[in-house]
Every structure is written in C-alpha cells, then in structure tokens.
Amino acid sequence: MTIKPIPTRYAGCHFRSRLEARYAVLFDTLGIRWQYEAEGFLVGEDDEKRPYLPDFWLPDDRLWVEVKGTEESLDVELIRDAVIPHGGLPADPTGAPLPSTSQAGPRMLILGPIGRGVVRLTDQATGEHAGYAGPTHTVLSFWKGDVIQGSATLDVGRVLVEHREGGIVGNDSRQVYWADRGTEWGNLTGEGVWISDSYDERVADAYRAARSARFEHGESG
C-alpha cells in the first residue's frame, strides 16, 4: 500500500511531505543549516537529461539530501546520475572551491523513515549497560569511476561521513549494479547502526524531537 505524502508547513517552508518536515526539525535541533528545494537541475547524459529537484542542501557539509519514505519510491538511476561529476549536481551550487581534491563530485545523503534514534544497549546475559546504538544513513559519492555507497551519522552542527570499501551502486557509464542491491548496497533508505560507549544527549534529543513533532497547529514542531 502506498502512503500519500502529507504536505506540511514548518519554519516558513511548505514541505511536500511530513517526513521532510521532520528532518528539518532534526537539522534545526542539531544546529545543522539547511536549505529546502533550493534549486532544480538537469542531470544525466546530454541526450537523456532529466529534471531533478533535491530536497535539501546542507551548505556547511556540502551535501545534497534526498528524503524518501520507502525504498520503492527511490529513483536509484536518477540519484546515480545526480552524483556523477560530469552531468550531475554541482558539488557546491555557490561555486565555492572544494576543501580538498578528494571530493571528485557531489555527495548525496539519503534519509528514510525516522526510526528509534539513539537507544541504550543492555547485555542480555548480565543485564548490565553495554553502550549505545544510533542510526547511520546512506551517502552516495563518486570515487575513481564508481558511485560508492558510504555511511553518515548526524551530529551536533554537522554530518560525519565515512566512506567504506565496496558498496558500489553503479559507475560513470550510467550502469547500475542491480544484482548487488540488498547485499553490498544494503537498504538505501534504511538505517545502519553505530555502537559506542558514549553519545551526545543532544543527538538523542534531536531524533526524539523529529519523531514526536506535531505540525497540525501552525509551524511549531
């Protein structure tokens, strides 16, 4: 069953879905600057370009953001085209120089349903505290001819991106490696997990704020 997005107003913006508005609440609570639907682009090869309007631009992290409630609603081929340096999104729409040569092109953060956020872990055998677990999210970027799936965590004031070996979604010839979907790729709109002995309470608060935000009475989250 397909759930119809609910247009939602928050922080002076008319979001196309409530999930997008919840992530705006999450960004605000963490102090991450964002722009909603800042600019549309044509992406892809010259004879097959398609219009694409990214959901968010995070200027401090130089990250484009796509928000999708389900895996099925994610247009993987369009997103793949968006992160290829030639014919994709600009790495920085302002034209500012990149901080290093390691970033060959644009990077795309993919956000799916907001899950439990940060949770406390308990040793099943002893019942003792065993640390904390929190969500990680998919980041697509271009590296040495391939579109690579990496992971990112949301933190106070920033997005921490960790690129990992493997997880190749496609390449610059516009080929998508569909056979690897669900194995090397993982679930692009689903959450991975980080585990740590400690965490910042503000991160847990931000996920709780986004998950519990109410928009029925005006703009307040």
- Least confident range from 34-48, 79-93, 157-171: namely 157-171
Residue range 110-130: average pLDDT?
A: 88
The proportion of the chain whose per-residue pLDDT surpasses 90, expressed as a percent, equals 61
Encode pLDDT of 194-215 as tens digits: 888 888 899 999 999 999 999 8
Q: How many residues does the chain have?
A: 221
Which letter, b or e, does each residue of 195-216 get, where b requires 16 or more Cβ atoms within 10 Å of its Cβ? Answer: eeeebeeebbebbbbbeebebe
CA 211 to chain centre: 16
Using the predicted structure, report yes or no on whether residue 101 has a pLDDT greater than 60.
Answer: no
